[in-house]
Amino acid sequence: MAGGAACLSGKGASGGRLRGIEEVGAPWRRCGGAFDLPGILLQTERPFSNLPAMPTSYHIVPTQAHNDLVRAAYIHRGYTAAEAEDAARFCEMASAHGIRTHNAIKALHLDHLFGSATGGCKPGAEIKVIEKKFAASEAWDGNLKLGQSVAFRAMERCMELADKYGIGQVSVDNAFHYLWGGGYVMDAAKKGYIAYTNCTSTLGEVVPFGGKFPVLGTNPHSWGLPTQDACGFPIVIDWATSTVAMGRVQQLKREGKPLPPGAAVDKDGKPTTDANEAAWLLPFGAHKGYGLSLLIEVMGGMIGGSLPTLRGGGAHPDIKGQPFPAGEKRTSSFYFQVIHPDAISSGLFAKGRNFSENVKAVIDDILGHGNEGCMLPGQPEAQNAAHTVNAGGLLFTTAEVEALNEIADEAGIARFDLAGLATYDVP
């Protein structure tokens, strides 16, 4: 599967440079210091670090070729054409916005570990809508349908309900992980809505504040705000409730680097910065992150979700090594909410400003007064998207292209020719 010209040149509007593969330099690395940002930064600015920016090179994979690969892989695993299309749409969205932690490689890896290969996700499953007496609310039985398909449909339904009632919400039980929640709320925000989602994670890997045994998921939550007129992109607040993800621990272990303080504990529940000794994660912000994670867990319990220590078959050896309790569930739960801005607006804006002008005034005030260098949530993703547009395709490291080629082998389709892919430099 070849794609891209062999040699492109010229500097783009977003600051990146297209060039031939023969000039490839340093491998990809994460920006942002010790902080786990929702997106991987491609831009030159490193907002939480004083370290100098380093040039980074990526291979340009044509979007259509990438999507064809994703569709083929999911169909190969038994998913329907519609589910494969949803998977491709999601993976394109994640890659275009620099979300390397939840791209096609991660999505298919999780499907192998917990999804179609193990019965945690059922290709071709149908969603069941559970009858409720509340006009603006729906509850769904996901029946282990592909999480991306469920999430796209749930968010669309929430927008329909918000158009009619001012607000709409959908809860989902018996779900398989939907991956990057920020993508769904960003999509709704771009359409003019305020959107929120959370989900209970597949595995219980997080220790509660003051405890030592992992009983919580990383439990991400995501907000999207329609702020395009104010700052050029939707504000997207998207993060896990753990200080770092387990993947971050594994990365630092491979690199021989320490963890940030307050990120993990060892097998005895003692705080550690040694990635080799880290067994379980801690919530961010001590009791505050714990409270948010607990909120998501209890909401999941109200929806119908399973015990966090049992989800995914259990993460702790003491649980994983025991027979699964009869009658219990391994599944996650989702929650989606969409608010129509007109439903909450008083219209009583100062100095005769309209809605958009007032939102811009608020953001300008926040970023004024010497705060001009501060970054808004969603800005890294917007900058990454600009690089994607400038490059004319999706950006991947050499290792990522090789991983995509392994997926191509599985699906029985042609590989990407690394030598034939153009590259894109982020200075």
User: Domain residue spans in the chain?
Assistant: 17-103+381-426, 129-316+329-344
Q: How far is CA 250 from CA 59, 201, 279, 362, in A?
A: 24, 18, 11, 40
- Residue 29: per-residue pLDDT: 24
* Residue 213 CB neighbours (<10 A): 14
- Residue 5: per-residue pLDDT: 28
> Closest Cα to residue 284, out of 237, 223, 240?
240
Do 395 and 95 contact (CB within 8 A), yes or no?
A: yes
Q: What is the CA angle 305-309-314, rounded to 5?
A: 110
**Separation of CA 189 from chain center:** 16
What confidence tens digit (pLDDT) does each residue in 382-422 have?
999 999 999 999 999 999 999 999 999 999 999 999 999 99
CATH topology of domain 129-316+329-344: Ribosomal Protein S8; Chain: A, domain 1 (3.30.1370)
- Residue 42: per-residue pLDDT: 36
Q: How far is CA 146 from CA 72, 102, 108, 195, 326, in A?
A: 15, 15, 11, 21, 25
- Spans of the chain below 70 pLDDT: 1-55, 427
The encoded tokens of residue 127 equal 């969603």
Q: Which CATH number fits domain 17-103+381-426: 1.10.490.10, 3.40.50.10490, 3.30.2320.50, 1.10.1530.10?
A: 1.10.1530.10
d(CA 220, CA 223): 10
Do 63 and 38 contact (CB within 8 A), yes or no?
A: no
- Residue 101: per-residue pLDDT: 84
- Residue 248: per-residue pLDDT: 81
The encoded tokens of residue 170 equal 């959908």
3-state secondary structure of 297: helix
